[in-house]
Amino acid sequence: MKETDPVQQWRNYQEMFAEPSQPIFVVDKTTYMKKVRVIYNLIHTMNSRHQTEYLEHFSLANCNSLPKSQKLEHTMSHCQACQVRLFAVQILFPNTIKLKPQALVQQALVENGNAGTHKVKPTQKAIKAGM
């Protein structure tokens, strides 16, 4: 049964990451509630096959079965261990890079000194080719 009560989810999260060896996962309740809502909404934008694959791969059982040395390599956000070792699964998650590629291209143009070309609208084909 899936837990839907946010307060109980918070308690479950605290119990899961209560080990002193995982201080990187400690987060206050307000931050947790804010982040979990965003993550929940993003997960529900995934197609059902990707959602199932992602949630099964990052399940509590799989997390608990990791050797301690591998657990220590992971972080709460922008996890390099997931990005490198689990890229094929991690890429399924609909992050802001996938949702707003044109905004990122516009920002990159400005950061690279091309402020005069702020009206450039790259095609989706060009964006995908650059990723």
**Domain range list for the chain:** 6-93, 100-130
Q: 21-55, pLDDT tens digit by residue? A: 567 777 888 888 888 888 888 888 899 999 999 99
What is the Cα–Cα distance from 120 to 118, expressed in whole angstroms?
A: 6
**Helix boundaries (H) for 1-131:** 6-16, 29-43, 48-57, 60-65, 68-71, 80-85, 87-90, 96-99, 101-111, 124-130
Closest of 7, 12, 4, 60 to residue 30, by C-alpha: 7
pLDDT, tens digit (0-9, with 9 covering 90-100), for 55-105: 999 888 888 888 888 888 887 777 788 878 888 888 888 865 554 556 656
pTM of the predicted structure, to 2 decimals: 0.59
